Structures are given as C-alpha cells and as structure tokens.
C-alpha cells in the first residue's frame, strides 16, 4: 500500500513470537514469500529479517 508504514524485525539469536500489531496486513520474507496477517496474529521473528507491512 503506497504511503503505508513498515517495520523490519529480526532477533540477534533464537526466536521470538510477537503480535503483528495494529494495522498489520502482510509479512514479507527474504525468500520472496508473503503471508497475509492482521493485528491479532502472532509473527515468529528469527535471525532472518522479515518486513511487516502496516496500513
């Protein structure tokens, strides 16, 4: 979505399960895959960065 915010998330080591957050609608992975999401979903954060997109 043009003009929408995004956040890159990763861990230094291990994993973390975090809420996607208000306005979240998609998670983009480095391998090119994407996953639709919403604020209530949990996103698994690892040592590989993901881009969480917000409306």
| Best CA proximity match to 51, nearest among 8, 15, 12, 21 | 8
CB contact at 8 A, 54 and 24: yes
Structure confidence at residue 4 as a pLDDT band (50, 70, 90): confident
Alpha carbons 52 and 55: distance in angstroms, whole number: 10
- The mean predicted confidence, pLDDT, of the chain is 94
pLDDT of 13 over the 60 cut: yes
| Best CA proximity match to 4, nearest among 25, 19, 35 | 25
pLDDT digits (tens, 9 = 90+) for 24-50: 999 999 999 999 999 999 999 999 999
- pLDDT, residue 3, reads 63
Alpha carbons 9 and 53: distance in angstroms, whole number: 11
Strand partners for 7: 52
Structure confidence at residue 12 as a pLDDT band (50, 70, 90): very high
């Amino acid at each position: 979505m043009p003009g929408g915010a995004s956040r890159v998330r990763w861990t230094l080591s291990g994993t973390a399960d975090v809420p996607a957050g208000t306005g979240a609608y998609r998670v983009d992975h480095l391998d090119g895959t994407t996953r639709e999401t919403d604020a209530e979903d949990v996103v698994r954060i690892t040592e590989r960065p993901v881009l969480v997109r917000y409306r």
